[in-house]
A and B are shown apart, each in its own frame.
Chain A
């Protein structure tokens, strides 16, 4: 069953067509990778999906409901989470607070007037946050300020924030960008472990090693158009993809 439907989406920036006639369907429970050369429109597509950028035409439907004219926090509340290319965390707050925020957003919805709520009533949320951080291998740092983390750990923290919201769909924008091979492999293992939870994922990625380790389906984007779409093996052998993506080199 398709969880996310992108239908006939067009977006141009000052005459430059960033996305033209994009049709994409993400099936529930799968890992769907979007690949393509720099400037192909991958991030724009992700931004359209989450309402950060409004499409000129076309619709995005999540679970059968349109996402157009829905504010970002409402989109997230419906069950989508997003990992950004540069990790977006709360630098001045401790790791457990970082993750608890998402837990509270999950528990209390987009707004709740709980200015006098006793810390005892939030203990469960903080406990769950610490458990999640332990799963991420950040157990020893739960009381540290997030700004003191290494880049790889910041990514892991952001992933923990997203997972604490228990999303049905997780959008990952280059989750291993700028990581060492070691950190990259660790992230792949982590994401594979997450696959067991059944969370649907859309991954934008440059690193083919990551893509072919994770993805069950791949869409190839070039110059704002989808030029190939299918299982990894089909895409790997597609001459059109090799041409567009690597100028003819073998994937």
Chain B
């Protein structure tokens, strides 16, 4: 029974990855057609990596972190310092950044995952802000304080200069692999455990599962995505801004996730694309009031489409194909079936 129902699921994943890769890799060609530019494509891909990783924590496990800037920013500084002082090659810089992120995520996870809900959000926010303050004060000598960390050398990958489209394809390849890994996680026993933490952590514990361990590892995986994104950000633009550690960076990834559709993996990436496109392209047409318009769009989505853009797409598909397009495998947050009493 399940052997039969599983085969189409993996085939669907293969198709999803193929379409995703095609859309991402062709972005430098189609984005300029709608007013974007090459460098924006790179930025979108980097934030998409951040968003997919964030969804593993928020979407699967149900933990809202307001402190992912700590991972994004610390990793960015590590990459910057490595590129500046050790080697202009990006591989040792990224390797070191990932190690630092894993270590940091382990520590923060042990401390913050003791609490859930709003307390977890506040704890993560507080820790991330501590990092921001530390970067501006005691570590000012390393981080450059308010001025940020500037580099004179251009990063390279095994002798290839990391400029323009090279950075884009490097980041795009990582994004495709990252999305593939996230899909594998979703379909794995591990992913099922994360989703059941969100659903009923108490039942899970009383089913013989070490909930803390799964939360901790899920948190760390999510942090590594943020760290990789932070590192790529510095490779893309050899400069580290203090904003990378600021709470507004944490807030931005939350808004991207919510507006795109929490728990769908693709949704948060759509959200990231929309936000960056809006901030960089649409903004020019609207003028000074663009933030107000963005706020209104966010409100409308949250009120009328709580499932984000992905819910909108599902509704659209349901309206186009008569009888609805509800597959058994689809996340059915949108379908409001009547409980059978």
- Take A101-B209, A119-B9 as given contacts and tell me if A90 and B339 are in contact as well, using a CB distance cutoff of 8 Å: no
**Contact-residue bracket for chain A:** 35 or more
Whether B184 contacts A115 by the Cβ 8 Å rule is yes
> Which of B166-174, B189-197, B226-234 sits within the interface?
B189-197
Let me know if B3 is at the binding interface, CB within 8 A.
yes
Let me know if B139 is at the binding interface, CB within 8 A.
no
> Cα distance A111–B212 when bound, in Å?
10
Whether B192 contacts A104 by the Cβ 8 Å rule is yes
- Take A91-B199, A113-B217, A130-B1 as given contacts and tell me if A148 and B209 are in contact as well, using a CB distance cutoff of 8 Å: no
Contact with B along A77-118 (1 / 0, CB 8 A): 100011010001111110011001110111010111111111
Whether B2 contacts A126 by the Cβ 8 Å rule is yes
Whether A88 contacts B206 by the Cβ 8 Å rule is yes
In this complex, the member of B181, B196, B206 whose beta carbon has the largest number of chain A beta carbons within 10 angstroms is B206
> Cα distance A122–B10 when bound, in Å?
13
Q: Which residues of A contact B202 (CB under 8 A)?
A: 88
Q: Which residues of A contact B2 (CB under 8 A)?
A: 96, 123, 126-127, 130
Whether B188 contacts A92 by the Cβ 8 Å rule is no
Let me know if A204 is at the binding interface, CB within 8 A.
no
Whether B208 contacts A110 by the Cβ 8 Å rule is yes
Q: Which residues of B contact A102 (CB under 8 A)?
A: 207-208
Let me know if B337 is at the binding interface, CB within 8 A.
yes
With beta carbons under 8 angstroms apart, the residue of B187, B189, B332 that contacts A104 is B189
> Cα distance A15–B199 when bound, in Å?
36
Whether A100 contacts B192 by the Cβ 8 Å rule is yes
Let me know if A170 is at the binding interface, CB within 8 A.
no
Whether B189 contacts A89 by the Cβ 8 Å rule is no
Chain B residue, CB-CB nearest to A87: B203
Whether B192 contacts A115 by the Cβ 8 Å rule is no
Whether B196 contacts A90 by the Cβ 8 Å rule is yes
Let me know if B211 is at the binding interface, CB within 8 A.
yes
> Cα distance A217–B190 when bound, in Å?
41
Chain B residue, CB-CB nearest to A122: B189
Whether B192 contacts A148 by the Cβ 8 Å rule is no
Nearest CB of chain A from residue B333's CB, rounded to whole Å: 8
> Cα distance A112–B189 when bound, in Å?
9
Whether B207 contacts A161 by the Cβ 8 Å rule is yes
In this complex, the member of A88, A119, A126, A149 whose beta carbon has the largest number of chain B beta carbons within 10 angstroms is A119
Q: Which residues of B contact A122 (CB under 8 A)?
A: 188-189
Q: Which residues of A contact B191 (CB under 8 A)?
A: 115
Contact with A along B139-176 (1 / 0, CB 8 A): 00000000000000000000000000000000000000
Let me know if A120 is at the binding interface, CB within 8 A.
yes
- Take A123-B2, A147-B339, A148-B339 as given contacts and tell me if A114 and B203 are in contact as well, using a CB distance cutoff of 8 Å: no
Let me know if B198 is at the binding interface, CB within 8 A.
yes
Q: Which of B312-341 contact A (CB under 8 A)?
A: 328, 332, 337-341
> Cα distance A111–B328 when bound, in Å?
28
Give residues in A with beta carbon < 8 Å to B.
50, 71-73, 76-77, 81-82, 84, 88-93, 96-97, 100-102, 104-106, 108, 110-120, 122-123, 125-127, 130, 143, 145, 147-151, 153, 161, 165
**Which 10 pairs from chain A and chain B are nearest by CB?**
A76-B208, A115-B190, A90-B199, A126-B2, A110-B210, A88-B203, A105-B208, A111-B213, A111-B210, A77-B208
With A101-B196, A104-B193 already in contact, 8 other A-B pairs whose C-beta atoms are closer than 8 Å = A76-B205, A90-B199, A93-B195, A111-B209, A120-B10, A122-B189, A127-B1, A149-B339
Q: Could you list 17 examples of A-B contacts with CB < 8 Å?
A: A71-B210, A73-B211, A84-B206, A92-B198, A93-B195, A105-B207, A105-B208, A105-B209, A108-B189, A113-B190, A116-B184, A116-B188, A117-B189, A122-B189, A143-B328, A148-B337, A161-B207
